[in-house]
């Protein structure tokens, strides 16, 4: 993007977009499995104790997550299934809650990940739930101010795609 245009947009953002007050937009953004995993790979710290992480969006607001704890190929790959349990309630509660649906020995995956401190600030594991503070994650990238303009954010899934539905409003 041309740096002059970027400067204007940053100034507008910092001032609350005064020159486009009243604007509204609804966006449906399908994110492919490939792009989702590229974004995760780019943001996962090199120090994370997780290797070979791959997230597959499934129908019915579910994700299959495959990963290996540690770098040793002697440890088996783990597979867990997460379901969207609660959508963010903007602006007051920008938290997406995922519930671990996996049963048996893999139910230990949540406690193992919590002990390994594998998640960035803004992501917390509580029992069989993962709480993702979307504003906190955006803040780590300098994007939290955009949340001031979000009325709604929904995360849904279909086979191989995450569908984000976003409603924006400039007051």
Work out the mean pLDDT of the chain and round it to a whole number: 86
The predicted-structure confidence for 100-147, as pLDDT tens digits, reads as follows 887 655 555 555 555 445 667 788 888 888 999 999 988 888 888 888
Which residue's entry shows tokens 């992501």? 123
For the whole model, what pTM was predicted? 0.81
Reduce the DSSP state of residue 121 to 3 states and report it. coil
**Pair 72, 63: CB distance under 8 Å:** no
- Domain ranges for the chain: 19-169
In whole angstroms, give the CA distance from residue 151 to residue 61: 21
- Residues of the chain whose pLDDT is less than 50? 115-116
What was the pLDDT predicted at 105? 52
CB distance 119 to 113 below 8 Å: yes
pLDDT of residue 159: 97
Residue 47 confidence (pLDDT)? 75
State the pLDDT at residue 112: 55
Please return the burial class of 152, using the count of CB atoms within 10 Å of its CB with bins 0-12, 13-18 and 19+. Answer: middle
């Amino acid at each position: 993007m041309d740096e002059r245009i970027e400067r204007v947009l940053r100034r507008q953002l910092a001032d609350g977009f005064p020159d486009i007050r009243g604007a509204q937009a609804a966006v449906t953004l399908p994110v492919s499995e490939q792009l989702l995993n590229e974004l995760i790979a780019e943001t996962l710290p090199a120090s994370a104790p997780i290797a070979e992480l791959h997230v597959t969006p499934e129908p019915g607001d579910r994700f299959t997550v495959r990963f290996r704890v540690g770098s040793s190929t002697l440890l088996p790959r783990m597979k867990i299934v997460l379901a969207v349990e609660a959508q963010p309630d903007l602006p007051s509660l920008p938290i997406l809650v995922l519930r671990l649906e996996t049963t048996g020995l893999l139910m230990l995956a949540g406690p193992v990940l919590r002990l390994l401190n594998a998640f960035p600030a803004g992501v917390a594991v509580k029992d069989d739930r993962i709480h993702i503070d979307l504003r906190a994650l955006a803040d780590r990238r300098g994007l939290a101010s955009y949340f001031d303009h979000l009325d709604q954010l929904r995360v849904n899934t279909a086979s191989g795609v995450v569908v984000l539905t976003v409603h924006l409003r400039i007051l």
